[in-house]
Amino acid sequence: MEALGWNQYGGWRIGIRSFDGKRYYYYAHLRQNYPYAEGLKEGDAVTAGDVIGYMGHTGYSTKENVNNIETVHLHWGLQLIFDESQKESDNEIWIDCYELSKFLYRNRSKAVKVGDSREWKREVQMRDPAVEDYQKDDCKKDSAMIQ
């Protein structure tokens, strides 16, 4: 998880960088007052099927937490990054996600509501070795900082 927060165009949004650093996934216009899954924070590792946020219609406002879009929806994008100078520049490479969205819809993971809360969680857990490696590396860094 690389970015969580508000901006005037995307409203509440999430940015996730792939482990190899070459893909940046962007999710925007999330729900007012409760945009993210409980406990989600920058630096977290997420995997396919994890509930990370909730659709809404925030954005297009200089004032934080404002619903300024008529239709609840998810704005998402995929940016390819081969060099850091491409981020937020005239050299950005964004992918048309329509076909990818159809593929992901056909292969989605079922989510279930958590009791009377506002939370949803994936029904079937999965093991992702890349996430496990990332978390091990984080533990090593934390241990080195303590010493």
pLDDT tens digits for range 23-75? 999 999 999 999 999 999 999 999 888 999 999 999 999 999 999 999 999 99
Residue 67 has a pLDDT of 94
Whole-number Å distance between alpha carbons of 4 and 17: 12
d(CA 46, CA 49): 9
* Fold of the 3-146 domain: Glucose Permease (Domain IIA) (2.70.70)
* Domain locations along the chain: 3-146
User: Quick one: pLDDT at residue 127?
Assistant: 84
Q: How confident is the model at residue 143 (pLDDT cuts 50, 70, 90)?
A: low
Q: To which H or E segment does residue 130 belong?
A: helix 129-146
* Closest of 75, 73, 74, 87 to residue 23, by C-alpha: 87
